[in-house]
């Protein structure tokens, strides 16, 4: 190819200046308008963008992976949720318009004003998450932003920007408040960052781009090279230290700049640490192969070669000509501390980890300091130590030139803030201070020019237990309707046709008639199995007509869930236009927001309305869902037939009446499937990452009750009753509520994620879909070694195999180790299923191979994206979800 002439270069440069200048001029006009917006207007726009980005999270993760070929789809999904959900949670209540602070004693007033037009540089490593993060923080502060995306990630970055921009304009933002260069080039990027209309540059990317931003003539807030090291103290919780490090190195294939690049391990635990790393999936590379990795991974300047960043260990080994043993995915290199500065001691942006042995704590500090001084000064370092109150934590932080000192947490997720610590701002741009030639030493916010050191300790937020205000139980508990002291003047009873046919609704009416304060009643008695959104709208319209102060739901999970959702829609409609309930489209739009997936229920973007007009009573007549005590409700889309689980504590009933008399005539098939659903609730809540000492006793007791009573409950004949049969039905009813209490607070896992999708796709009863997936999920979770655990701070080490084994022991099952006990538990469950005539296979329950093959890929993504997935102890990949589906067939 002929070389570009000087004249041609000047022409290209001039064209770039004209093009980018047109973008900046439009941005300046938009920002001038936006600078007049109120805090309320700004907050509405930011909330709309955060929700839009969160809803598109998985789609954008797939697009980023497809376009760049780097990283891990599921981890990119987590980063996208972080960039929207977590960032929004941290900034949503910040006051960024007008007076933001006042000290009357000093006589000072702080007034916020926008910077103007920002230039956003986005790397190929985080192409969608960084884009959404920068848009949120830019528009929260009333700035406009113009992006230059990495050429290798142009499409996915632009799509992320388009999604947020469309949401912003729809919420009232001026046009052109967010723009980007359509055709990426060095000339266009250079022209943008040097444009005099740019107020500041948000530079996230490689050293070359960051340096170019710093030399552009415009103010720049950038980041330096990351080459973080973790020091593993002899007092550390070794299991957690190893799992934190592996979680971090595996996360998006080690591509986040905060990821540990070196581990410095104190001598007394070095051998044990190294053994555990290998046991859990790391590979100790033979020294004879070091040169192959040096030559392939790094360039002559000791930087990572372009194609390597974010690639898997398997790919890197194949390209380097090294054989990687099966089951290994993190590469370890034992290096000499005297040779820090060699290629393998550099930043790696991949699942490679250099390892150094430290004689003692002082030696550990010296090694970490040398690594930072060589490459990565100011970025981050970490320590794994037994007690976070140990004075050495402060000594360690004080001794090192690092803006973030991360204590007892995985660096890749810890360094970006908010997930494992409240001490760091949620951010995807991490400053390195003067040590790294940066203007800020903290996670990008409204910062200043100070170098601020932050020692960030791992935190476990206080947990909670939330249940109905009152739970009445035992036979004839329905009589408490007479004595309930709260006002009850108008009641609506929501039930399925069987409740009317067999007199259960009459029983409720009889109790209401005995109250001193009589209540006018209306009845909606046509709830169908798997109720649809359309049916809940019908119920809400009846509520609009009857104006109840009490909603009484009688029936199985379908009736209880329908009542929860109808009550919510009704109360929500009271603040809307008069025709709200007459428009399916308007209610559907609300529903699409309500079913938004979240990682942490306390940080969800969409908040449910607090319901104050009515109180909800739930009276279960089947023993399975536990809906009477839970914040869950499952609703089916009228058109796609996909089941969506809604979760919010606003859906928790005020009163639960658990009366065994209501389940004595339940049909055998219902007993079997609802009982196995109960078992799944108890099992999943016991092994959940959110399980606690408060929830596990409920889970365990529910498991015991199901194992000991389901078969007898199934065989009970109400026409020929026996005491044992009656007791079994009663115990199963209590088991369902206990399991509901447990999973209300510990949540569920992928057994339900899979069942929600197979049930909706193939028309299977929920309990059957649950049963078919159950043993496969237990075996998937019940492993040890190289396991990727879900991200949740309280879940410090992977324990699902041990948890299942503890359940097996409590049931009196036998096995020589935890792995055998997991199999014994599966075998016991399998015997129970067959005892109640359940064959746990899709193919045995009417699903054809043709229908299954046509749906499996779509169902795998839907199941991964289900609300129940985040609390599963093992972080699933979409391909693993697909395999679990295949195993069920």
Please give the full DSSP string across 262-294, using - where no structure is assigned: EEEEEHHHHHHHHHHHHHTTEEE--GGGHHHHH
Tokens of 23: 């973008």
Tokens of 519: 């209540």
CA dihedral 865, 871, 877, 880 (to 10 degrees): -100
Q: Which residue has the tokens 């001691």?
A: 345
156 is catalytic: no
Q: Which residue has the tokens 């899979």?
A: 754
What is the Cα–Cα distance from 802 to 788, expressed in whole angstroms?
16
What is the Cα–Cα distance from 331 to 91, expressed in whole angstroms?
38
β-partners of residue 198 are: 117
* Helix, strand, coil share (%) of the chain residues, nearest 5: 50, 15, 35
Angle (deg, nearest 10), helices 154-170 and 57-68: 160
Task: Note whether 137 and 417 are within 8 A (CB).
Answer: no
Task: Note whether 383 and 289 are within 8 A (CB).
Answer: no
**What residues have CB less than 8 Å from 801, skipping those under 6 apart?**
781, 782, 783, 784, 818, 819, 822
* Residue 462: Cβ-neighbour burial (10 angstroms; 0-12, 13-18, 19+): exposed
Task: Note whether 451 and 434 are within 8 A (CB).
Answer: yes
Tokens of 657: 């009446």
What is the Cα–Cα distance from 482 to 511, expressed in whole angstroms?
6
**Which residue, 775, 759, 771, is CA-closest to 839?**
771
What is the Cα–Cα distance from 664 to 748, expressed in whole angstroms?
28
What is the Cα–Cα distance from 202 to 429, expressed in whole angstroms?
8
Residue 779, Ramachandran bin (φ over 0: left; ψ between -120 and 50: alpha; else beta): alpha
What is the Cα–Cα distance from 17 to 234, expressed in whole angstroms?
57
Please give the full DSSP string across 454-505, using - where no structure is assigned: EEEE-----------SEEEESTTGGGHHHH--S--SEEEEEE-HHHHHTTHH
**What is the 3 state secondary structure string of 513-570?**
HCCCCCCEEEEECCCCCCCEHHHHHHHHHHHHHHCCCEEEEEECHHHHHHHHHHHHHH
Q: What is the three-class DSSP state of 437?
A: coil
What is the Cα–Cα distance from 174 to 170, expressed in whole angstroms?
9
What is the Cα–Cα distance from 145 to 177, expressed in whole angstroms?
6
The residue from 156, 257, 381, 868 that is catalytic is 257
Q: Please tell me what DSSP assigns to residue 657.
A: E
Q: b/e map of 298-328 (b: 16 or more CB within 10 Å)?
A: beeebbbeeebbbbbbebbbebbebebeeeb
Please give the full DSSP string across 51-109, using - where no structure is assigned: HHHHHTHHHHHHHHHHHH--S-HHHHHHHHHIIIIIHHHHHTT---SEEEEEETTTTEE
Task: Note whether 634 and 646 are within 8 A (CB).
Answer: yes
Beta-sheet pairing, 220-222 with 229-232: unpaired
**What are the residue numbers of the active site?**
257
């Amino acid at each position: 190819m002929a070389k570009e002439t000087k004249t041609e270069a000047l022409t290209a440069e001039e064209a770039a200046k004209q093009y980018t200048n047109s973008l900046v001029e439009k941005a300046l006009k938009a920002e001038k308008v936006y600078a007049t917006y109120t805090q309320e207007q700004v907050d509405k726009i930011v909330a709309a963008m955060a929700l839009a980005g969160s809803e598109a999270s998985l789609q954008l993760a797939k697009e980023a992976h497809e376009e760049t070929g780097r990283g891990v789809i599921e981890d990119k999904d987590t980063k996208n949720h972080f960039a929207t959900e977590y960032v929004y949670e941290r900034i949503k209540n910040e006051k960024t318009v007008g007076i933001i602070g006042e000290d009357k004693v000093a006589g000072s007033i702080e007034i916020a004003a926008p910077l103007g037009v920002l230039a956003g540089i986005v790397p190929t490593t985080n192409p969608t998450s960084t884009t959404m993060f920068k848009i949120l923080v830019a528009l929260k502060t009333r700035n406009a932003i113009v992006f230059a995306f990495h050429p290798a990630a142009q499409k996915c970055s632009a799509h992320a920007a388009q999604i947020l921009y469309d949401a912003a304009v729809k919420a009232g933002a001026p046009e052109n408040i967010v723009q980007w260069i359509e055709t990426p080039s060095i000339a266009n990027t250079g022209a943008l960052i040097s444009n005099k209309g740019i107020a500041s540059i948000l530079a996230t990317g490689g050293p070359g781009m960051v340096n170019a931003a710093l030399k552009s003539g415009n103010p720049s807030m950038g980041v330096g090279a990351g080459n973080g090291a973790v020091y593993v103290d002899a007092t550390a919780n070794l299991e957690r230290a190893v799992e934190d490090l592996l979680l971090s190195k595996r996360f998006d294939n080690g591509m986040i700049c905060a990821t540990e690049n070196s581990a410095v391990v104190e001598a007394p635990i070095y051998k044990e640490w190294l053994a555990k790393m290998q046991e859990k999936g790391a590979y100790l590379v033979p020294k004879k192969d070091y040169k192959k990795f040096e030559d392939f991974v790094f360039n002559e300047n000791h930087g990572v070669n372009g194609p390597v960043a974010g690639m898997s260990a398997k790919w890197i080994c194949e390209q380097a000509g090294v054989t990687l043993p099966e089951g290994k995915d993190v590469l370890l290199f034992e290096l000499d501390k005297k040779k820090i500065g060699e290629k393998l001691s550099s930043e790696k942006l991949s699942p490679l980890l250099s390892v150094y042995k430290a004689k003692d704590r002082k030696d550990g500090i010296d090694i970490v300091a040398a690594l930072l001084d060589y490459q990565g000064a100011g970025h981050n370092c970490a320590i794994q130590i037994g007690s976070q109150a140990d004075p050495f934590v402060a000594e360690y932080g004080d001794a090192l030139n690092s803006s973030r000192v991360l204590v007892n947490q995985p660096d890749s997720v810890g360094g970006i803030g908010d997930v494992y610590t409240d001490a760091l701002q949620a951010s995807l741009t991490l400053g390195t201070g003067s040590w790294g030639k940066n203007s800020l030493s903290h996670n990008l916010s409204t910062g200043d020019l100070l170098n601020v050191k932050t020692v960030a300790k791992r935190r476990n937020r206080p947990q909670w237990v939330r249940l109905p205000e009152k739970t009445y139980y035992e036979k004839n508990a329905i009589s408490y309707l007479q004595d309930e002291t709260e006002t009850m003047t108008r009641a609506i009873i929501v039930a399925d046709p069987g409740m009317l046919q067999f007199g259960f609704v009459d029983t409720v009416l009889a109790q209401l008639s005995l109250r001193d304060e009589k209540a006018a009643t209306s009845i909606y008695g046509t709830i169908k199995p798997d109720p649809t959104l359309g049916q809940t709208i019908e119920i809400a319209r009846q509520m609009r007509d009857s104006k109840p102060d009490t909603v009484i739901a009688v029936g199985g999970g379908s009736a209880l869930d329908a009542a929860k959702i109808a009550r919510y829609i009704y109360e929500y409609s009271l603040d809307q236009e008069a025709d709200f309930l007459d428009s399916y489209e308007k209610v559907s739009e609300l529903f699409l927001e309500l079913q938004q997936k979240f990682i942490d229920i306390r940080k969800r973007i969409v908040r449910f309305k607090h319901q104050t007009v009515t109180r909800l009573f739930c009276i279960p007549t089947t023993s399975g869902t536990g809906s009477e005590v839970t914040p869950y409700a499952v609703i089916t889309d009228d058109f796609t037939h996909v089941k969506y689980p809604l979760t919010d504590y606003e859906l928790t009933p005020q009163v639960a009446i658990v009366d065994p008399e209501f389940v004595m005539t339940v049909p055998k098939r219902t007993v079997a499937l609802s009982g196995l659903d109960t078992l799944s609730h108890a099992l999943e809540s016991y092994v959940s990452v959110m399980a606690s000492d408060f929830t596990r006793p409920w889970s365990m007791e529910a498991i015991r009750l199901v194992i000991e009573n389901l078969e007898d409950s199934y065989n009970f004949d109400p026409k020929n009753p026996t005491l044992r049969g009656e007791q079994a039905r009663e115990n199963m009813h209590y088991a369902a509520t206990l399991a509901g209490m447990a999973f209300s607070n510990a949540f569920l896992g992928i057994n339900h994620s899979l069942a929600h999708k197979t049930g909706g796709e193939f028309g299977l009863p929920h309990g059957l879909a649950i049963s078919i997936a159950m043993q496969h999920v237990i075996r998937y979770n019940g492993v040890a070694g190289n396991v990727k655990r879900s991200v949740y701070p309280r879940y410090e080490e992977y324990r699902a195999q041990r948890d299942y084994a503890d359940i097996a022991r409590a049931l009196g099952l036998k096995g020589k180790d935890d792995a055998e006990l997991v199999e014994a538990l599966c075998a016991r469950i399998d015997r129970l299923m067959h005892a109640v005539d359940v064959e746990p296979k899709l193919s045995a329950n009417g699903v054809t191979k043709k229908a299954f093959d046509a749906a499996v890929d779509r169902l795998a993504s839907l199941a991964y994206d289900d609300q129940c997935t985040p609390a599963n102890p093992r972080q699933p990949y979409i391909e693993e979800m697909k395999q679990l589906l295949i195993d069920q067939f």
